[in-house]
Amino acid sequence: MGKFDGKKVVIIGDRDGIPGPAIEECIKTTGADVVFSSTECFV
């Protein structure tokens, strides 16, 4: 059992950094439930 098993996760990625879908794919392997994933532009 890992730290993220059964946890709900909100992901906000950065357009010029790591996009949300890339983070989401990594988090899915931990057993967490991704409830929201987005890529934003922070200026």
pLDDT of res. 2: 79
Considering the entire predicted model, what is its pTM? 0.80
At 4-39, the pLDDT tens digits run 899 999 999 999 999 999 999 999 999 999 999 999
Following CA atoms 37, 20, 32, 25 in sequence, which dihedral angle do they give, to the nearest 10 degrees? 130
| DSSP label at residue 36 | E
Residue 34, token pair as written in the block: 């991704």
Distance, in Å, from the CA atom of 36 to the CA atom of 22, rounded to the nearest integer, reads: 13
Distance of CA 28 to the CA centre of its chain: 8
> Which residue's entry shows tokens 């790591």?
18
